[in-house]
Amino acid sequence: MAASRKKWNEMAQLIVGIVAHTVLALAAMWGAAALWFRLPGTPNQRRLAVTGWSLVALVLVMLGAQGIWPASVVLLLLLAALLIWWFRLQPTHDRPWSADVVHLATGEVRGERLTLHHVRDFDWHTRDEADEHWEERSYDLERLDSVDMIVSSWGRPGVAHVMISFGFEGERFVLFSVEVRRLKGERFSEIGGFFRQYELAIVAADERDAVGLRTKVRGERVSIYRLHMSRRAMRSLLLAYVDEANALVESPRFYNTITANCTTLIFDMARGIGARLPFDYRLLVTDRLPGYAFKVGGLWPGHSLPELEAGGRIDERARQVHRAPDFSQRIREGVPGWESLHVGESEVVEERRGS
């Protein structure tokens, strides 16, 4: 009996030791990635620092696995120092930003008039070159009558960018896009998004800019899905975007590939205005978001999901009408819910009475 108990104790200690040193090894790997993505300096300097960290951590993990416990203590102290540095990192607005995110959207409401500052309307020639134009635009909130979800994917499984566009009686549209705030010449990395490499940006843009960039210049697959919402919910969501944008200007935030991205912020804002939305894995696998929206009844009714997906493809049409004055109207031709670009007068009157 005693021998059996001793054997089980030894086995338990072995398992605990394996788990503990595995956790330490994974923590050391996380530390290497954190140093690579956030340590100041040139790539060669970061490469040297990451190599040094990795070698020291590897030696300490191996010594700790052999029962030399001071090695594990030293590694824990190094990890503690790294975490102190990590949590002292603060987002900022004061960096040399890429031209397309040099300004963040802000807005103000006076009566029924919404004024947005720094609405982007670039005419893109390449991924990095454009005729730059920022302007102030005003919108009559009483004319707000549509919300569209625009989904853009570029071939990576499970990954898509989601934007929300607000329409005013089919005549004017403003698109909001939650993006990474990149530095000049910097490229986006999904992995870097886990390691505080980017700040968060909320951009208000003309559809010819944001949609045209993704279709004409980047060659991405883009779809529009008209959302099924009451006028009151549309207004609440638009103002939630404005509030979130204003708050972001006051208090910068880090972008995070999982917790603070183009989808999770929309989800949080929708819940904030009272939508009862269950959590679903498709909120993380962003190219599946239309399926989630269909499941919760958020897409235009009367169509199956395959019909909405087929009718919502607009990239080819958008490439053909790039920068046309009526770009927003023409890309919606044939999109379910947009058989007519104007809500029927009886529906408008009835809904205004109900609200």
- Per-residue pLDDT 10s for the chain (355 aa) are 566 676 676 676 667 778 887 898 999 999 999 999 999 888 899 999 999 999 999 999 899 888 888 898 999 999 999 999 999 999 999 999 999 999 999 999 999 999 999 999 999 999 999 999 999 999 999 999 999 999 999 888 888 999 999 999 999 999 999 999 999 988 888 888 889 999 999 999 999 999 999 999 999 999 999 999 999 999 999 999 999 999 999 999 999 988 888 888 888 898 888 888 888 888 888 889 999 999 999 999 999 999 999 999 999 999 999 889 999 999 999 999 998 665 443 344 334 334 3
Predicted confidence at residue 237, as pLDDT, reads 96
- Phi/psi for 310 (5° steps) reads -70, -45
Q: Beta 130-131 vs 172-181: how paired, if at all?
A: unpaired
Degrees (nearest 5) of the Cα angle 139, 144, 148?
A: 110
Q: What is the Cα–Cα distance from 39 to 46, expressed in whole angstroms? A: 7
Predicted confidence at residue 283, as pLDDT, reads 82
Helix axes 231-250, 264-272, angle to 10 degrees: 120
- Output the CA–CA distances (angstroms, integers) from residue 340 to 7, 54, 184, 321, 335, in the order listed: 77, 61, 42, 19, 10
Q: Beta 113-120 vs 199-205: how paired, if at all?
A: parallel
Dihedral in degrees, nearest 10, Cα atoms 236, 238, 239, 243? 130
Q: What is the CA 328 to chain-centroid distance, rounded?
A: 23
Q: Which of 42, 40, 44, 146 is nearest to 85 (CA)?
A: 40
Segments in the chain forming alpha helices (H): 2-38, 43-65, 69-88, 207-212, 231-250, 264-272, 289-295, 305-312, 315-320, 327-331, 345-354
Predicted confidence at residue 251, as pLDDT, reads 96
Q: Which of 331, 349, 286 is nearest to 167 (CA)?
A: 331
For 172, the enclosing helix (H) or strand (E) is strand 172-181
Q: Which of 211, 199, 205 is nearest to 132 (CA)?
A: 205
Q: Is residue 206 classed exposed, middle or buried when 0-12, 13-18 and 19+ CB atoms within 10 A define those classes? A: buried
Q: What is the Cα–Cα distance from 7 to 10, expressed in whole angstroms? A: 5
Terminal C-alpha separation, the chain: 77
Q: What is the Cα–Cα distance from 261 to 80, expressed in whole angstroms? A: 28
Predicted confidence at residue 1, as pLDDT, reads 59
Contacts of 134 (CB under 8 A, 6+ apart): 103, 118, 119, 120, 121
Report residue 59 as tokens. 């030696």
Give one DSSP letter per residue of 322-341, joined into a string. TT-TTHHHHHTTT-TT-SSS
Predicted confidence at residue 124, as pLDDT, reads 96
Question: What 3-state DSSP class applies to 86?
Answer: helix
